[in-house]
């Protein structure tokens, strides 16, 4: 019952938070007058994105861009809730709506963030455990240096270093893109593409929207191995960047737990070392680490912009870069909004998971 009340409280707090996010994006999109606001919803095919363009009169009337800002905000929220987030001229050739672009690109970004987080967790927790158990020994110093290195090097530099290493050691390795166009064609693997209103096929694998999984489901071995090869380098880049934080959190939590009375009692009972470490020390040390892992997963959206750009990975990050370089107001506002919403939702999930793992939070 207490956990249910806690979840309801967190959901209620989420409402003003999301309203604050939309208010910030509204101010950004209206900071330089109505011409910037109309540019968010303007299709370049209709001509100049100006409030004085007679071909855009319907958009001006729809969002009340000649009315006071409070009135415009109401209609801005109405557009967001109805799925009208504007038009992106940089998403694909010819442009599509922002919501279509999010549907098209978000699965690739989610795939990258999930795989990187899984790799970082599976490597960081055992490594942090080893570092804590071997405190102040060679293994501890080595893992701490490893963690500090990953934490200090920027994502874009890590991406370039991994690319250079792959070129030097494995010249045939795939260092850019999501797939090899010679292996994946809309005429053969129609399940991996979607035809947009403009008529151009775009990559969007079905049914999970994750190429590695979809290739298995469709029994296409060559595409699976090719997708896996393209996934390895960007995954290692992001995983290495967040691995250090997980390692340090696990190590710090375990070192603190080792000095607790219940751990001394477990040792005095003569329990095997692996039982004390796994069942008593690490289990409690993972509580704060669980929170950090969730926040790191959300923060990957910030790092994925640079990594996707370096690896030409067709996700939200690459679209964000194109939107900025091409002064695509709709794309910039759309990516800003989806990044903020995703971060807020992940924070909510982390809070609920932490309250479930540690009942003291709901007291």
Tracing tokens 């797939």 back to the chain, one arrives at: 179
Question: Does 44 map to a domain?
Answer: no
Tracing tokens 């080893």 back to the chain, one arrives at: 130
Question: Does 51 map to a domain?
Answer: no
Phi-psi category of residue 353: left, alpha or beta, with phi > 0 → left and psi -120 to 50 → alpha? alpha
Question: What is the token pair recorded at 234?
Answer: 């960007």
DSSP E strands in 23-102: the ranges are 87-88, 96-97
Rounded Cα–Cα distance for residues 222 and 234 (Å): 20
Rounded Cα–Cα distance for residues 243 and 126 (Å): 11
Question: Does 41 map to a domain?
Answer: no
Per-residue confidence (pLDDT) for residue 63, from 0 to 100: 74
Is residue 121 a contact partner of residue 115, using CB atoms and an 8 Å limit? no
Phi-psi category of residue 270: left, alpha or beta, with phi > 0 → left and psi -120 to 50 → alpha? left
Count of helix runs (H) and strand runs (E) in the chain: 14, 4
Per-residue confidence (pLDDT) for residue 358, from 0 to 100: 66
Tracing tokens 């750009």 back to the chain, one arrives at: 309
Angle between helical axes of 34-41 and 2-29 (0-180°, round to 10): 120
Residue 189: count of CB within 10 angstroms of its CB: 19
Question: Does 187 map to a domain?
Answer: no
Question: Does 56 map to a domain?
Answer: no
Question: Does 94 map to a domain?
Answer: no
Is residue 222 a contact partner of residue 230, using CB atoms and an 8 Å limit? no
DSSP annotation string for 150-205: HHHS-HHHHHHHHHHHHHHH-TTS--SSSS-TTT--TTT-GGGEEE-TTS-EEE--
Per-residue confidence (pLDDT) for residue 266, from 0 to 100: 67
Question: Does 35 map to a domain?
Answer: no
Domain that holds residue 114: 106-182+210-362
Q: How confident is the chain (363 residues) per 10-residue block, as mean pLDDT? A: 75 84 83 72 67 74 79 85 84 79 88 90 86 82 83 85 88 84 84 76 86 90 90 90 84 76 69 68 74 80 82 89 85 86 83 71 56
Q: Look at the chain and report how many structural domains it folds into.
A: 1
Question: Does 285 map to a domain?
Answer: yes
**Phi–psi pair at 302, nearest 5 degrees:** -70, -45
Report which of 295, 187, 178 is spatially closest to residue 242, judged by C-alpha positions. 295
Is residue 106 a contact partner of residue 119, using CB atoms and an 8 Å limit? no
CATH of the domain at 321: 1.10.3720.10
Rounded Cα–Cα distance for residues 315 and 87 (Å): 17
Rounded Cα–Cα distance for residues 77 and 58 (Å): 18
109 burial level (CB within 10 Å; 0-12, 13-18, 19+)? buried
Per-residue confidence (pLDDT) for residue 234, from 0 to 100: 92
pTM score, whole prediction? 0.83
């Amino acid at each position: 019952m207490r956990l249910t009340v806690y979840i309801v409280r967190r959901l209620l707090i989420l409402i003003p938070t999301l309203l604050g996010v939309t208010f910030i994006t509204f101010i950004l999109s209206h900071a330089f007058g109505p011409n910037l606001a109309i540019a968010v919803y303007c299709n370049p095919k209709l001509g100049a994105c100006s409030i004085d363009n007679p071909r855009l009169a319907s958009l001006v009337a729809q969002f009340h861009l000649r009315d006071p800002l409070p009135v415009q905000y109401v209609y801005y929220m109405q557009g967001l809730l109805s799925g009208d987030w504007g038009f992106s001229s940089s998403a694909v050739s010819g442009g599509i709506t922002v919501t279509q672009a999010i549907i098209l690109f978000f699965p690739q970004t989610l795939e990258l963030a999930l795989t990187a987080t899984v790799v970082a967790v599976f490597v960081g927790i055992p490594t942090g455990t080893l570092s804590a158990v071997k405190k102040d020994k060679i293994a501890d110093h080595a893992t701490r240096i490893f963690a500090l290195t990953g934490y200090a090097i920027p994502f874009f530099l890590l991406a370039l270093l991994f690319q250079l290493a792959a070129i030097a050691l494995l010249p045939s390795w795939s260092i850019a893109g999501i797939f090899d166009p010679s292996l994946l064609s809309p005429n053969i693997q129609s399940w991996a593409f979607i035809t947009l209103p403009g008529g151009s096929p775009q990559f969007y694998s079905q049914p999970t929207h994750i190429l590695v999984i979809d290739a298995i489901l469709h029994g296409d071995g060559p595409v699976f191995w090719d997708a896996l090869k393209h996934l390895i380098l960007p995954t290692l880049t992001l995983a290495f960047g967040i691995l250090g934080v997980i390692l340090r959190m696990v190590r710090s939590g375990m070192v603190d737990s080792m000095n607790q009375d219940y751990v001394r009692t477990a040792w005095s009972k003569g329990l095997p070392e692996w039982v004390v470490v796994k069942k008593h020390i690490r289990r409690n040390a993972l509580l704060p680490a669980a929170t950090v892992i969730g926040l790191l997963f959300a923060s990957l959206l910030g790092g994925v912009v640079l990594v996707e750009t370096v690896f030409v990975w067709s996700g939200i990050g690459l679209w964000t870069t194109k939107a900025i370089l091409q002064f695509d107001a709709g794309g910039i506002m759309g990516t800003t909004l989806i990044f903020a919403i995703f971060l807020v939702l992940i924070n909510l999930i982390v809070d609920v998971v932490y309250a479930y793992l540690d009942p003291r939070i709901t007291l």
